Structures are given as structure tokens and as C-alpha cells.
Amino acid sequence: MIAALPSQALIGLINGAFYALLSLGMAIIFGMLNVINFAQGAFYMIGAFLAWMLLHYFGVSYWTALLAAPLAVAALGIFVERLLLSRVYRLDHIYGWLVTYGLALMAESVFRFFYGVSGKPYSPPADLRGGIDLGLMFLPTYRGWVVLVSAVLCLAVWLAIERSRLGAHLRAAVENPVLVQAFGINVPRLLTLTYALGVGLAAFAGVLAAPIYQVTPLMGSQIIVVVFAVVVIGGLGSILGTVVTGFSLGLIQGVTKAFYPQAADLVIFVVMAAVLLALPAGLFGRR
């Protein structure tokens, strides 16, 4: 049990990296657009499938797919936001949730129709194969890369939104869109780009996940409930809270699996219940 702790903690940290990226995108979309984007898992799945299709059909490398797939999904997000979501911003949250949940179901059904539910293998790039012997455990190079790049990207997005001029425009557009528009800032375009960023992060996570987990149409629906729990625990709309919570819950889940495997999938929801009882707005949220 103790001997398995380091390796299970690493697995938990890797899962936490995906939780952080996906929930970061969801938190950005909710914080800026006021929409609970339940299609986040579907865009994660589409990103993984795009990477697989680029390699399988066109021989495109992992590194190119890591850039191309998120950009393609971001373009798809722009289309979805302009066609559907822009019509529900002023309505109750339930309408945005229903629209995005319906989109997720449709995306999963389309990929299941063409590819079935069996997983598609995707090998990691040659540059990131192998591993490092740390004594207590063997660290696969690719998995270390996933944790590192996820942490760096989450930090960069947080700095861009909280510390940059563009981020200030975004926050101001949420608080008072009429006044911001009066200063010549195109608020609808800002909101569209925000949604594109959020779903692009999901697709980036999907490409990172492809060599670790098999690419399957079910991978989005399998993770979206956990991602929503991460956002709720961190505080809806809190970007920093979401990132910290994502990595932390992944680590807690991994450690729990080392001591009591049966409770590994349940522990996140136990933590969510405990946090909401004590802090209804989440760990970093505001009432």
C-alpha cells in the first residue's frame, strides 16, 4: 500500500492536470459568458479525435496536432457561440446548460456512429518516450510533460485574464457591457473569443490525453461530471480556485486509490459535499 503511494500520487496528479485544464475553460466561460458549458467534455473528446485523425489519415505529428486541433476546435467554438449561445446570455442558466448538454450528446452520438465505442490507440511522440528512475518510482517522460505543460498553460491563462489589459477589458465587459462598448470595444467579439479560448483549452487537454488514454467517444462524458465538481468546489467563475482545485482533487483521488481503491471515484463528490456545506460559494468563490 505505502509502496504504491508515489505512483498513485503521480497518476492522480496527471488526472488533476486534465481536470485543471478542462475546468479552467469551463470557469472562464461561466465567469465571462454566464453559461455553464456542459459541452466542455465533448470538445475535449473532439480534440483527442482530431489528433488521432490527423495522425491516422494524414500522418501529421503530435506536435503539429497539439497546435492544430485546439485551433480547429476554437474555430468550431466560435461558430457554436455565434449561432446558439449568443441567444441565451440574458436567459436563465438552465437554457445555456441545456443547449451545451444537447451539443455534447449530439457530438458523442456522431463519433459513436462513425467510430464505435472501442478506443483508438495514439502513441506518444518519440521525443517524449522513455522515463526517469526517481528511486521510489519510475516517471514516464510523457506523463511528466503533461503535468508541466498543463501547469504552465494554466498559469499563463490566469495571468492573461487577471493581469493583462485584454483581461481587464473582458472583466469590464462582464460587469458593464454597455459602458465598455461606449469606449469602442467590441464586446460581442470579446465574448466569442472567450468561448473559443475555453473550448480550445479543452481540445488541448484532449490532445495531451490521447497518448495516455485511448481515444474514444465516451471520454468526454466520463470526465465532465468530475470537471463540473471541480468548478463548483473551486468557486464558479474563480479561475485560480479552479486550477488549484483541479490539481488538488486529482492528487487526493490518486492517494485515496492507494489506500482505499473503491472510494477513489467517490472522494471528489464527498469533498464537494463537505465544501458546499461549509462554503456554499466554493473555496475561492464569492457569494
Rg (CA), the chain: 19
Task: Indicate whether 108 pLDDT > 90.
Answer: yes
Helix axes 267-278, 219-234, angle to 10 degrees: 30
Q: Are strands 131-133 and 138-140 parallel, antiparallel or unpaired?
A: antiparallel
Q: Where are the domains of the chain?
A: 5-115+160-278
Can you give the pTM of this predicted structure?
A: 0.94
- Beta-ladder partners of 133: 138
Task: Indicate whether 2 pLDDT > 70.
Answer: no
Residue 277's contacts (CB-CB under 8 Å, 6 or more residues apart) are none
Q: Residue 10: what pLDDT?
A: 83
| Count of residues in the chain | 287
Using one digit for the tens of pLDDT, what is the confidence trace for 189-206?
888 999 999 999 999 999
Q: What is the mean pLDDT of residues 262-281?
A: 90
Cβ distance 61 to 55 under 8 Å? Answer: yes
Residue 255's contacts (CB-CB under 8 Å, 6 or more residues apart) are 5, 8, 9, 12
Task: Indicate whether 170 pLDDT > 80.
Answer: no
Going by the DSSP 8-state scheme, the letter that residue 264 receives in this structure is: T
Task: Indicate whether 25 pLDDT > 60.
Answer: yes
- The CA distance from 25 to 195, in Å, is 8
- The CA distance from 180 to 151, in Å, is 32
Q: In the chain, pLDDT over 70 holds for what percent of residues? A: 97
Q: What is the phi/psi pair of residue 138, to 5°?
A: -105, 120
- Band of pLDDT at residue 246, cut at 50, 70 and 90: very high
Q: What is the mean pLDDT of residues 23-29?
A: 92
Task: Indicate whether 12 pLDDT > 70.
Answer: yes
Between 114 and 165, the more confident residue is 114
Nearest alpha-carbon partner for 124 in 80, 191, 65 = 65
Q: Residue 178: what pLDDT?
A: 74
Q: What is the mean pLDDT of residues 24-47?
A: 92
Task: Indicate whether 153 pLDDT > 90.
Answer: yes
- Band of pLDDT at residue 3, cut at 50, 70 and 90: low
Task: Indicate whether 47 pLDDT > 90.
Answer: yes
Give me the torsion for CA of 175, 176, 180, 181, rounded to 10°. Answer: 130
Q: Residue 239: what pLDDT?
A: 86
Task: Indicate whether 135 pLDDT > 80.
Answer: no
- The CA distance from 33 to 188, in Å, is 10
Name the grid cell of 129.
518516450
Q: What is the mean pLDDT of residues 146-171?
A: 88
- The CA distance from 241 to 248, in Å, is 10
